[in-house]
Amino acid sequence: MGPLQIKDILQTAPENQSVVVKGWVRTKRESKNAIFIALNDGSTINNIQAVAEPGQFSAELLLTVTTGSCLKVTGQLIASQGAGQTVEVKISDIEVYGTADPEEYPLQPKKHSLEFLREIAHLRPRTNTFSAILRIRHALAFAVHQYFNDKGFFYLHTPVITASDAEGAGEMFRVTTLDLNNLPRTDEGAINFKEDFFGREANLTVSGQLEGELGAMALSKIYTFGPTFRAENSNTTRHLAEFWMIEPEMAFFELEDNMDLAEDFVKKVITYALINCKDDLNFLQNRLTEEEKSKPQNERSLPLLEKLAFVVDNPFERLTYTEAIDILLKSKPHKEGKFQFPVGWGIDLSSEHERYLVEKHFKKPVILTNYPREIKSFYMKLDEDGKTVRAMDVLFPGIGEIIGGSQREESYEKLLGRVKEIGIDPENLWWYLETRKFGTAPHSGFGLGFERLVQFVTGMGNIRDVIPFPRYPKSAEF
Ligand code: ATP
Ligand code: MG
Ligand code: MG
Ligand code: MG
């Protein structure tokens, strides 16, 4: 079953036990009386200290024990005299699995910029910051599955290759089996992309929602959790070309139920991280506090753990889009002309507007509902007045939109009307329309961008730093 991990050794192994520790060297320090090697295997933010006596090993061997090298250390677990750890390993044997030339190994013990680490995405999980983020990311993913499983949802695997453009935003990556040297042409001579995928049109999915709805119309409560692709050539701190989306879809849920679920869900998964990722969150909090020291006192944000606890402990503010526009119109930045994008009923809110509402006005997460139909997708249920739809966006501090959702249009006639209105050929969505034709039901759902959640929980400013291998224009080539 493999060796004990450092996390288990530190937490549970009894003193005097013989142990084998395998991991990467973080630091080596030599003093007159001892040689200290800090080892980490990624199972925890905490290193284990291994101690050898001077002269115990040849100078030649010790020269190969450098930051980044990989070791197998055999020894005995003893009480530690030093501050910072209760136990350490008294080394009896060292085997060097792999050296890391200090002249070449980029992760020497000093603080590296996040930009630099993005360039070496293959090595950055070996840093404290990234290993902490990846462990928290894992914990959140686990909590997502646990939450839905406990609530009677089924995990539905929706396709990655699909013909449907759920968002109609035209941000799709095309999938092609075409021979690029021999492209099919239309009568006018243009490339016929309709024949991309073995003679049909195909794209990478921008959302699993439409297929998710098919699942909900049979299993009642499903969720998807998979990779999602958007060809947005944007360089924001909140957009990736490849991200993971969590999309629950529920039959017999109205907009209110949908909001209740979204709020409860986010709170429960954050709580899971607060309970299970204490060491990593503390590490990230200290890192952020260090960064904030350069800011004036009144501009510093709450310590990470307090910020998370606040979100978990307080009800989200709920209001309509129309009410939000009124607040924005009365706001100081609007009156002083400080918003980059003008405010008025009918606009699609920008993140500066969303963040004003969350960070300055309400000072807590906000759920906005009933957006104008023109700025939302065709599948959202129309309100009685026909002007707005039963949409909901959940907005978070530091991020803006974290969730987009809605009650879905269940009327076949109305949905068909909306499909035609926005210029989609109903033939392409016949399978989707049939869920309304045969045994339609009120239903709702939402999409949570997983990386935005990880960003919030870890306090990271840039979404590129919360996914192992970020995909964005000019991202690393692997
Ligand atoms: P935004 O307004 O931020 O561009 P959106 O309204 O286009 O988001 P939706 O289509 O509503 O996004 O998708 C649902 C959720 O997916 C969003 O609330 C967000 O959390 C996440 N999301 C959308 N686009 C991206 C992206 N490019 N990278 C990472 N997450 C994304
Ligand atoms: Mg978008
Ligand atoms: Mg949006
Ligand atoms: Mg949205």
Handedness of CA 363, 369, 375, 376 (dihedral sign): positive
In a domain, 41, yes or no: yes
Residues 78 and 195 in one domain: no
Tokens of 142: 């686990």
Residues 200 and 215 in one domain: no
CA distance 5 to 3: 6
The pTM is what? 0.95
Q: Which residue's alpha carbon is nearest to atom 11 within ligand 1?
A: 404
**Which of 150, 183, 204 is the last residue before a domain boundary?**
204
When divided into structural domains, the chain yields a total of: 3
Residues 296 and 352 in one domain: yes
Say if residue 197's pLDDT is above 80.
no
In a domain, 85, yes or no: yes
Residue 408 DSSP one-character state: B
Residues 258 and 390 in one domain: yes
Residues 30 and 149 in one domain: no
Q: How far is the CA of 221 from the centre of ligand 2 (A)?
A: 26
**pLDDT of 166:** 62
In a domain, 119, yes or no: no
In a domain, 470, yes or no: no
Tokens of 26: 């973080």
In a domain, 384, yes or no: yes
Q: Which helix (H) or strand (E) holds 268?
A: helix 255-276
C-beta contacts of 98-106 below 8 A and 24+ residues apart = 98/69, 98/70, 99/64, 99/66, 99/69, 100/25, 100/66, 100/67, 100/68, 100/69, 100/70, 101/66, 102/66, 102/67, 102/68, 105/66, 105/67, 105/68
Say if residue 168's pLDDT is above 70.
no
Summarize pLDDT for 4-58 with one digit per residue, the tens: 899 999 998 788 899 999 999 999 999 999 999 999 999 999 999 999 999 999 9
Residues 199 and 220 in one domain: no
CATH code for the domain in which residue 397 is found: 3.30.930.10
In a domain, 475, yes or no: no
Residues 142 and 222 in one domain: yes
Mean predicted lDDT score pLDDT of the chain = 93
**pLDDT of 191:** 78
Arithmetic mean of pLDDT, 113-139:
96
Q: Which of 235, 243, 249, 392 to mutate to test the pocket of ligand 1 (most atoms within 8 A of CB)?
A: 243
Which residues does a 6 A CB cutoff place in the pocket of ligand 1? 167, 230, 232, 238-240, 243, 245, 401-404, 447-449, 451-452
- Are 433 and 416 in contact by the 8 Å Cβ rule? The answer is yes
Residues 454 and 340 in one domain: yes
Residue 312 DSSP one-character state: H
Residues 304 and 391 in one domain: yes
Task: Tell me which residue range forms the domain holding 69.
Answer: 6-107
Residues 184 and 303 in one domain: no
Q: What is the ipTM of this complex?
A: 0.99
Residues 459 and 349 in one domain: yes
Say if residue 208's pLDDT is above 70.
yes
Query: Half-sphere exposure of 217 toward its Cβ, with a 13 Å CA cutoff?
Result: 21
Residues, CB within 5 angstroms of ligand 3 (ion):
401
Q: Which of 165, 239, 472 to mutate to test the pocket of ligand 1 (most atoms within 8 A of CB)?
A: 239
Between 190 and 72, the higher pLDDT residue: 72
In a domain, 423, yes or no: yes
Residue 399 DSSP one-character state: T
Ligand at shortest distance from the CA of 466: 1
Residues 66 and 198 in one domain: no
In a domain, 187, yes or no: yes
Ligand at shortest distance from the CA of 396: 1
Planar angle of CA 327, 332, 333, nearest 5 degrees: 100
